[in-house]
Amino acid sequence: MNDLKDFTNFNGNYIHPTAIINWDRVSMGTGNIIYPYACIGTDAQHPREDSNGVIEIGDNNIFREYVTVHLPTAHSKLTKIGSDCYLMVLAHVAHDCIVEDNVRISNNTVLSGHVHVMNHAVLGLNCNIHQFQVIGSYAMLGMGTVVGANNKIVPGKVYIGSNAKGLKENTIGLERNNVTPEILESEIARFEKLYEDMHT
């Protein structure tokens, strides 16, 4: 990474002194970089539910300036971010969200509560994701895509628009990650189970 001289090394993570982290409710692996004014572990932004639970963060994630990650509610008691994710400026991860590994969340993108983002998904600039949605692994959302309540964002596809519409297969993403037809089939099956569980 570039110059981190203003960052503090805390348990193997580089954290800018202006970042706010609620260490009483946040557990974090190593190799994470937390940029200025990121805020991790403040209360769930919910009109009726109190915060209840913890945030778990894996390894080697980047949280750029003004990223926010909120505590969960009693619904799941967990907000979770895996490893090797890149959250760009002003990305928001709301209460009870699950973000798996190698996910890219671009500037000003909002995950509403209870969103599950699967491995290697790429969310473009200014995307908005409705509550209780699943974003399939190796899927890509184009700039400004809005994922409504009834959209299905299946693995391995590119989506654009409002509400999101399938554009094409994410050929570049699948090739770059050496995704075989068997791997993709397995991820589609996993997506369908997550989607069913989310909507029942």
Measured in degrees and rounded to the nearest 5, phi and psi for residue 151 equal -75, 150
Dihedral Cα 123, 125, 128, 131, nearest 10 deg: 30
| pLDDT over threshold 90, residue 200 | no
Average pLDDT value over all residues in the chain? 97
Find the farthest-apart pair of alpha carbons in the chain and give their distance in angstroms, rounded: 49
pLDDT band per the 50, 70, 90 thresholds, residue 1: low
Q: What is the pLDDT of residue 188?
A: 98
Q: Give the model's pLDDT for residue 169.
A: 97
pLDDT of residue 108: 98
The closest alpha carbon to 154, from 182, 127, 185, 108, belongs to 185
Q: Indicate left, alpha or beta for 53 from its phi (over 0: left) and psi (-120 to 50: alpha).
A: left
Q: How far apart are CA 142 and CA 76, in angstroms?
A: 29
Pairing, β 39-42 against β 104-105: unpaired
- pLDDT at residue 105 greater than cutoff 80: yes
Neighbouring CB atoms inside 10 A of 196's CB total: 10
Q: What is the pLDDT of residue 183?
A: 98
37-77 pLDDT tens trace: 999 999 999 999 999 999 999 999 999 999 999 999 999 99
End-to-end alpha-carbon separation of the chain, Å? 43
What is the model's pLDDT at position 2? 62
Tell me if the pTM is above 0.85.
Answer: yes
Token pair 């589609």 is at which residue?
188
* Dist. CA 64–CA 69, nearest whole Å: 12
Structural domains in the chain plus CATH codes: 8-198 (2.160.10.10)
